[in-house]
Each structure stands twice: as C-alpha cells, then as structure tokens.
C-alpha cells in the first residue's frame, strides 16, 4: 500500500472554501493541483465560475483550467483522459496530485471509469427538450425511470442536462446507461483505487443556512465584479447559444435569460428576479453536490464550523486536512 502513489481528492459543495484549502495545502505539501470543475475548463468564463484569481493561480497553479472554448462542449470522458494524463505527469515528477473541485461526476469517472456511450444526437435531444418544455423536466424524469430506474434514482428530476443525456442514450442505442456501465466495468482494467493510495476529503459548513449565506454573498460579489458584462461579452460570439453546456452553467444561464428579456428575445423579468434565480440555482447545485457526497465511500469530512457552530480558522481547517492525509506517510 505504501508503495502506491498518493492521490488526494478535495471535494465539496459550491462556495464551501475548496480553493482556499487547496492553496493552503500546496504551501505545506509537494502537491500539484488539478481542477475538477466542468465550468473552469472554459476560457472567458472567469467571474461566474469563481475561477481562482491570477494571484491564486500564480501561488498555486491549477491544471485543466482554460483548456476549452465555450462553444466546444467538454465531457466527463474527456476529463477522465485529461486527468489521468496529468496525474501520471505529476507522479512521474515525484509530486502528489491534488484534485480539487465540485463536479462529482468527474471524480466518479476517475474512480469507476466510463462506458462507451453513443454520440450526441441533436434530433433526439431536441425532442426531449420539447417534451420538457411542454410537460416539465420531472415528466422527462418519469420517462427515464420507466426504462432506467437506476440512472433515474441518481439524477435529480430538474437536472436537465443529465436527464436529457440519459434518455438520449437509451433512445439512440436501445440500451440504458446502467447496462452500458455494467458492461464497461466487467471489461475494465485495474481500478483507480488499486493503482493509487487515495485520500478523499470533503469541506463544507455544518449548517446548510451558512452555506446558503455564502452562496448568496458570492453571487452578489460576482455581480459587483462584472458578471453581467462577462455574459454580454459571451453573447457577442455567434457560436454561443443557451443550449451549450457552458451557457447552461449555474449563474450564466440566469443572466443570459435576463439579457434575452432585455433584448426582447424572451420573457422579461427584473434584475432582482435574475439575482434570485441565480442564487436559487446555486443552492440547488449545492444540494445535488451534497447528495452525491453523503453517499460517497471512504470520505473524510472537514467542517468549517465547530460542533457548537462557531467558524473555524483557516489554520484549523488546514490542520484537519493534514491530519487526514497523514503527512508522515508522504
């Protein structure tokens, strides 16, 4: 076990403080950071993704940031390949890969692998989205549950992107995602856990209300930093449209819809309502992330609050992380 390379996962819900802890860990351990975030991969999307600042990146460079144009979708399968390459490079250099982010599907792709799925089918996706527009996404969720109850149980009824893809896979191939994944696992090579010594950490406040407060505070800060102007700039690119994963990201979609209304291209709603929608969507994202994490095996929780509810210092949080990693074995 001790001869296996060490890999650290640092997970958590949005606005929990993952980046701060990752930067602090780099000051104490020979780690190299790999971003595990489905939005940080996109160039020109800095404010709404809470991308680490230039100062933070200079202090603690992150791999797999700014590697894709927003017009080009990035998949979990691509992340798996890219992350494996970066991990191998870091290990070969005698350092420790520290994967930090909140895209749980990407972490799962590394741990369990991904089955070969049929390519995207625009016609099928358009039909699914039409059904959702007419009947709602929970209606689409019911359709998925009828053919693939396992996948449906893993996907929130309002998670439009994952629902659409799961149903599209079935309609395109006649096989469910569950069946394809089971076939892949039977033919898979050595599992990630067999190749590496893995420490899995999750950082979060104990109180959900505290997290909600941090989410609201951060969204308002994004607006002060120029989130609306950032989305306006994205709208100037003819290749970008609301159906792209980048534009459907939390925060961007709400601001895009608001600007559509201002331009007479969609329903009109106020800036106040846009802010409320953005914060609500961020809270829903955090809820989905926490749902993933509660069922995550071998996870070590690092709380940003004490049992009595007091906020803990950065040094206390760092100490917990170092204790879990067990620096004596490094």
The pLDDT, as a whole number, for residue 299 is 95
**pLDDT at res. 263:** 94
Q: Computed from CA positions of residues 42, 43, 46, 48, in that sequence, does the dihedral angle turn out positive or negative?
A: negative
Specify the pTM: 0.83
Q: What is the pLDDT of residue 114?
A: 76
Looking at residue 190, what is its pLDDT? 62
Cα–Cα distance between 321 and 330 in angstroms, integer? 14
267-285 mean pLDDT: 97
Instruction: State pLDDT tens for residues 33-71.
Output: 999 999 999 999 999 999 999 999 999 999 999 999 999
Would you list the DSSP string of 209-255?
Answer: HHHHHHHHHHHHHHHHHTHHHHHHHHHT-TT--TTSTTTTSTTHHHH
Q: pLDDT digit string (tens) for 133-165?
A: 899 999 999 999 999 999 898 888 878 888 898
Taking residues 173-190, what's their average pLDDT? 77
Q: What is the pLDDT of residue 122?
A: 84
Percent of the chain at pLDDT above 90?
77
Closest CA relative to residue 203, chosen from 51, 50, 59, 101: 101
pLDDT > 80? residue 189: no
CA dist 158 and 168 (Å) reads: 16
Residue 181: pLDDT band with limits 50, 70, 90: confident
HSE-up (13 A, CA, CB side) for residue 115: 18
DSSP at 148: -
Secondary structure of residue 1 in the 3-state scheme: coil
Residue 304 has φ and ψ, to the nearest 5°, of -85, 0
Distance of CA 32 to the CA centre of its chain: 19
**What are 313's two structure tokens?**
């210092």
CA distance linking residue 322 with residue 150, whole number of Å = 36
* Residue 34 confidence (pLDDT): 98
pLDDT at 323: 96
Measured between alpha carbons, how far is 158 from 149 in angstroms, rounded to an integer?
16
Q: Indicate the pLDDT class of residue 330, thresholds 50, 70 and 90.
A: low
């Amino acid at each position: 076990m001790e001869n296996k390379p060490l890999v650290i996962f640092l997970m958590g819900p949005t606005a929990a403080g993952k980046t701060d802890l990752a930067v602090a860990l780099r000051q104490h351990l020979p780690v190299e950071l790999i971003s595990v975030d489905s939005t940080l991969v996109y160039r020109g999307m800095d404010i709404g993704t809470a991308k680490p600042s230039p100062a933070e990146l200079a202090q603690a460079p992150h791999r797999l940031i700014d590697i894709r144009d927003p017009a080009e979708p990035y998949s979990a399968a691509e992340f798996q390949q890219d992350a494996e390459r970066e991990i191998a490079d870091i290990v070969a250099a005698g350092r420790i890969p520290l994967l930090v982010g909140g895209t749980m599907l990407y972490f799962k792709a590394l741990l369990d692998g991904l089955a070969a799925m049929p390519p995207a089918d625009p016609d099928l996706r358009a039909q699914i989205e039409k059904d959702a527009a007419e009947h709602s996404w929970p209606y689409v969720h019911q359709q998925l549950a009828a053919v693939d109850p396992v996948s449906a149980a893993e996907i929130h009824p309002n998670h439009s992107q994952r629902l659409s893809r799961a149903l599209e896979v079935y309609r395109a191939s006649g096989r469910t995602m569950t069946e394809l994944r089971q076939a892949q696992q039977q033919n898979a090579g050595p599992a990630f856990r067999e190749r590496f010594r893995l420490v899995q950490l999750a950082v979060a406040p104990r109180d959900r209300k505290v997290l909600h407060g941090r989410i609201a505070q951060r969204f308002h800060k994004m607006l002060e930093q120029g989130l609306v102007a950032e989305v306006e700039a994205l709208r100037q690119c003819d290749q970008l449209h609301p159906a792209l994963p980048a534009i459907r990201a939390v925060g961007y979609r709400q601001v895009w819809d608001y600007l559509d209304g201002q331009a007479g291209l969609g329903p009109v709603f106020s800036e106040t309502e846009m802010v409320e929608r953005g914060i609500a969507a961020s809270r829903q994202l955090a809820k989905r992330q926490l749902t993933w994490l509660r069922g995550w095996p071998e996870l070590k929780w690092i709380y940003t609050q004490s049992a009595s509810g007091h906020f803990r210092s950065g040094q206390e949080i760092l100490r917990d992380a170092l204790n879990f990693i067990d620096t004596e074995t490094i």
